[in-house]
Chain A
Amino acid sequence: MGFLNKLGFTKKDEDKKESVTRGLLVFAHPTTVISVEEILRDEGYTIRVVSPPPAYRTGCDLSVEFPLEAEAAITELLNSVGMAPLDVVPITSKGMEPLQFVRTTIYNDKYIMIRAANMKMTVDQETKEIVNISGGGCPDVPYLATAMLGKKLSEAPDPGEVGFSLCAYSLNTSREELIRVIGV
């Protein structure tokens, strides 16, 4: 042990090394992670959507934490559906998970607004038409607003598919909650 200590390799490091059982799949866009999450959960993998480690952070990104023992199978599966990760890295600490809490406001029994993190979507409860989108700060928010406003919840593009940012991810959380509450 003295020799290892001399090299700066301590018992703590040994424990850390032993505890590396999880890896991270790093992708270019947060919304790719939404599709990957769905695919891997459908296949029965135990995964978490989390923030990437500092070296990979741009300020708007998500990654997928997965069991390292399944690395070969998962990367093969993702390659086969054209969703190969940019990188796969082992991790020792837990990343932060995106916020899933939502807040609901009803206006005159007609409109329902649901906010997830910094994103709000408002829908006419009778017609199910998306009447407003507000909040957010990433460039795809005005783009998504243009694409979704005036459309019914069932017809509007899915921000998880056409968006690219964490704001789009949160907007998708609002949309999913709206569908859960009022249907499509």
Chain B
Amino acid sequence: MLLLAGSVPVEHLPLLIGPIEITDNGIEIKGQELPMNRGNEAMMSAACLICREYGIDAPIGMVAGDIGKREGSVAIYKHLADHLPEMDIDVMTLHYVMPDLKLNKKILETIDTMQKKPLMIADAGSMYVAKAGGDAHYYTVFTPDLGETAFLADEKADHPSFTRGFIFNMEEDVPELIRRAYASNNAPPTMFVKGKVDYICQDGVIVDTIEEPSIPTMEPIGGTGDLITGMISGLMYAGVSPLESCRIAGRVNRVAGELAQPTPASQIDTILAHLPEALQKVQKQLG
């Protein structure tokens, strides 16, 4: 099973778990339609498209409503801590949730008890809490953007908002940020750093960079990074290695941007619509 977990901005929506279906306006889980948005909806859509293209089971979504008041996030943390062993998960992606160090540690304690541990991908709030807790080693892949990479590089920061100025100002030297993140054990084995140049890292070494096609107008669009995380999730569930998944996802995202020709005012569905065509192109390019 590919499990994709995270909160959605629908206040009081209870915890829902079920196969994710793509609809005309977004996604649907257990009869609940969730309009397309940056965050989990974008990530889940991209993972669904990859699973569909590879002819594998649709991912299972675990969502709960949270507009920042924590209830939905708490429901997700608690369900995972209590039920992970019986869920038979191969790959698990944890995404937008309110960081909660104690509850995340409970999930990791449960994982410690499991013989078959899922491959874990973290982005957004789930990555923040993993780093703040010193728990990056539990995960297989992180997908930070530049600001988040600076946060991973700052061993003292609990949240990207607390990244110290001198590290934030190191952003012109991304390899140094990556080196610092690995040196302080705040990066998992595989890391995809999203930016003007994408850096793909394995065990502390930058093994690939992606610069083309360059579509600068993608940076302001909320959700482009979420598409990459979703694609990596789907590809890993299809059996592609974490490293190769990063290589494919990064290229597909850029080609989809090239096909979409967005402006800074475009929304994520504009890019998402071109993912299947972009995947075909990249697969041909990569042979």
Chain A residues close to B by CB (< 8 Å): 29, 51, 57-60, 96-101, 103, 105, 107, 110-111, 113, 115, 117-120, 122, 124, 131-143, 145-146, 163-170
Contact = CB atoms under 8 A, between A and B. Distances in A.
Tell me the interface secondary structure of chain A in the complex.
mixed
Given A107-B216, A169-B161, A138 B156 contact: no
B96 A118 contact: no
Contacts, number: 176
B265 A132 contact: yes
A33 to B, nearest CB: 11
Tell me the interface secondary structure of chain B in the complex.
loop
B284 interface: no
A178 B40 CA distance: 27
B32 to A, nearest CB: 15
B157 A111 contact: no
B150 to A, nearest CB: 8
A137 B123 contact: yes
Given A111-B264, A113-B264, A170-B160, A132 B222 contact: yes
Contacts of A101: 165, 168-169
Given A101-B168, A118-B147, A118-B151, A139 B72 contact: yes
Nearest to A137: B124
Most buried by B among A134, A141, A163, A167: A134
Contacts of A111: 220, 263-265
A4 B126 CA distance: 46
B160 A57 contact: no
Interface string B34-61: 0001111100000000000000000000
A59 B220 contact: no
B253 interface: no
Nearest to B8: A142
B220 A139 contact: no
A96 B157 contact: yes
